[in-house]
Amino acid sequence: MESKYSKEKTVCVTGGSGFIGSWLVRLLLDRGYTVHATVKDLHDENETKHLQALEEHESHRLRIFQIDLLDYDSIVRAITGVNGVFHLASPCIIDKVVDPEKEIMKPAVEGTKFVLMAAKELGVRRVVITSTSAAIAPNHHWPADLVKNEDCWTDVEYCIQKKLWYPASKTLAEKAAWEFAKETNLDVVVVNPGGAMGPILPPTVNSSMSCILRLFQGCTETYDDFYMGSVHVKDVALAHILVYENPSATGRHLCVESICHFSDFAAKVAELYPEYQLPSLPKETQPGLLKWKDPSKKLMDLGLQLTSIDQVIKDSVESLKSKGFIS
């Protein structure tokens, strides 16, 4: 059945069941949009139940579609009838990768191309791509005295050499998106979030939230190659809407509360939760990464007010506690 709402206020969110995607769906519904949210499996309650809970309060303006990033027809079905697309769906496997080409690289890159092809074919107005700060760093060729910004691109060859498949896949996918946009004149803008953290809507913990959880479990991992900073998940979702709704938004948009080292973040968590025996990390966990207070100026100029890192941590930890991940 066709939506009774106008196409202008109808958008598709791929990866709508994920940590950022769920928040984006929620904020879009709050703003009066009709949303086509995509999942990998309509029969998996871990993907659908929390989305259906949002729908109950929003006058049935949410439709859930099952897609496969390598199945063009399934993507077309989800995008048909929308005016905008937010492309978040991409494999995020940090550990235990058996076949990186099959599990991560091909779905990320080819899936992005398919989404853009469908958007162009169906006359979509604007596509917002969710990239990552891990598509900005690591880059060891960047000038040592210059703060990393949207002009910096991750060194894919280095990532492949170090088996950093997620940064490699996201960098190649974003580059493919820009190439497609240049060739076809499709209106594409990109958000590059750091480690998105905060209240969890899905039943599972995403990779960024697991960074906090692992601290409470005593893990001393430093994420030295691609950590640039953290950001509230709600800010990331709002950033997507701001770049979608503002015609002046162009290019890449780094979205982090500040550029800092993971050791700074871990020390702040320990400061806020002294009752826990949290591990101490080396002082410089990201050698050569220059710290910066306001790296997300492009988004701030669009009206984004970034949540303080103290509040990001508090919201994250309290959510992990409420869901039983931290006792």
Q: Which residues are catalytic?
A: 170
Q: Are the CB atoms for 10 and 78 separated by under 8 Å?
A: no
At residue 208, φ and ψ (nearest 5 deg) are -70, -40
Identify the residue whose tokens are 């990109």: 190
Identify the residue whose tokens are 């990390």: 281
Q: Are the CB atoms for 116 and 189 separated by under 8 Å?
A: no
Please state, in angstroms and as integers, the Cα–Cα distance from residue 122 to each residue in 7, 205, 214, 275, 276, following that order.
12, 34, 43, 55, 53
Q: Which residues contact 61 (CB under 8 A, 6 or more apart)?
A: 3, 5, 29, 32, 33, 34, 35, 55
Q: Are the CB atoms for 254 and 296 separated by under 8 Å?
A: yes
- Output the DSSP codes for 65-94: EE--TT-HHHHHHHHTT-SEEEE-------
- CB hemisphere CA count around 259 (13 angstroms): 23
3-state secondary structure of 284: coil
Q: Are the CB atoms for 49 and 89 separated by under 8 Å?
A: no
